[in-house]
Amino acid sequence: MPNYVAVGKQMDLLKTFCLFVNLFLQMFEPPVSFIESKKQKTSFEDIDGSKVIAYLEKDSPEIKAFEESATQHQPLLPFFAVSDKKLAKSFRLKKPKTIQLLKPYEKPVNYPADKTITEENINNFIAQNKRGILTKIRLEDIHDTWSTNVEGYLVTAFVRLDTNEGSQFFSLVKSLARRYGDEKKLHFLWVDPDPFPTMRDYWQKSYNIDVNSPVIGVIEPKFSKSSWFERKGKELKLRHLQQWVEDVLAGKVELKEPADSAGASQGQKREEQLKKEEL
């Protein structure tokens, strides 16, 4: 009888390997994708992460600067350009030499009209505005978004959108992220657990949660300490989540170590106690 668990793990590893090979190959593709048809526009709209779009003339100094900047951000932040007036209008890009940074669940951020379009200025524009109010965790950039270098807390929601419960919960998460979008201590993350089969057990055991049901918690990334929101009553309201966030910011919520870390520390304490008794 085949070992289905082992086969499943091999398939997960193969899927991850293929993803990183694809990302590696994308680094050799043209840094800017030109949109010249409705089909290409639809493909652009299907990208659910952050992206940059510009209305620039081909072979202009501005498009060259745009391409130079794109090479430094590919493949994690895709750059797109249009040169046709009618097509640009469908993107709400009214004037030539217009650049926009598009982030999920937010209004477009416009490149300053009084700034010359240069590689350095574009890079600075992105660096100053790239922080989103709600970031979807992706395999290709999980090490950047879920990083120990993050200052503050990761407010992390595990949500599937293929159920009514998940959709309603995610709507509250988006409203919460907008409410605290300017709070520098908070970084809102959304995790769809399906693309992370090899991580599900780790998350569930470490944080003592069920990632198959909508759940939200706060994680201190440097030490992986966390606390998870507990529902009181059947109907969840935005005000309940807001009060919980306020308690987190006020230091009223206790953050606990991951289950394996807690077990390790208890084991170390027992060893130290035995050594003392032997002495």
**Cis, peptide link before residue 75, omega less than 30° from 0:** yes
CA gap 249, 185 in Å, rounded? 8
pLDDT band at 26 (very low <50, low <70, confident <90, very high): low
What are the structure tokens assigned to 76, written together?
A: 């994690």
Is the pLDDT confidence value at 23 over 90? no
Is the pLDDT confidence value at 186 over 90? yes
Instruction: Return the pLDDT at 260.
Output: 62
Predicted TM-score (pTM) of the model is: 0.77
DSSP letter string over 183-223?
-TTEEEEEE-STT-HHHHHHHHHHHT--TTS-EEEEEETTT
Mean pLDDT, rounded, of the chain: 84
Instruction: Return the pLDDT at 76.
Output: 86
Q: For residue 54, what are the β-bridge partners?
A: 81, 99
Instruction: Return the pLDDT at 229.
Output: 96
Give the tens place of pLDDT for each residue, 27-69. Answer: 557 789 999 998 999 999 998 889 999 999 999 999 999 999 9
Could you tell me what percent of the chain has a pLDDT over 70?
83
pLDDT band at 241 (very low <50, low <70, confident <90, very high): very high
Residue 84: which of 42, 37, 121 has the closest Cα?
Answer: 37
pLDDT band at 179 (very low <50, low <70, confident <90, very high): very high
Give the tens place of pLDDT for each residue, 99-151. Answer: 999 999 999 999 999 999 999 999 999 999 998 999 998 877 777 777 777 88
Is the pLDDT confidence value at 174 over 50? yes
- 105-129 burial code (b ≥16 CB/10 A, e <16): bbeebebeeeeebbbebbeebbeee
CA-based radius of gyration for the chain: 23
What are the structural domains, with CATH classification, of the chain?
A: 29-129 (3.40.30.10), 135-261 (3.40.30.10)
Beta strands in 32-160 (DSSP E): 32-34, 51-55, 79-82, 98-102, 109-110, 135-136, 153-158
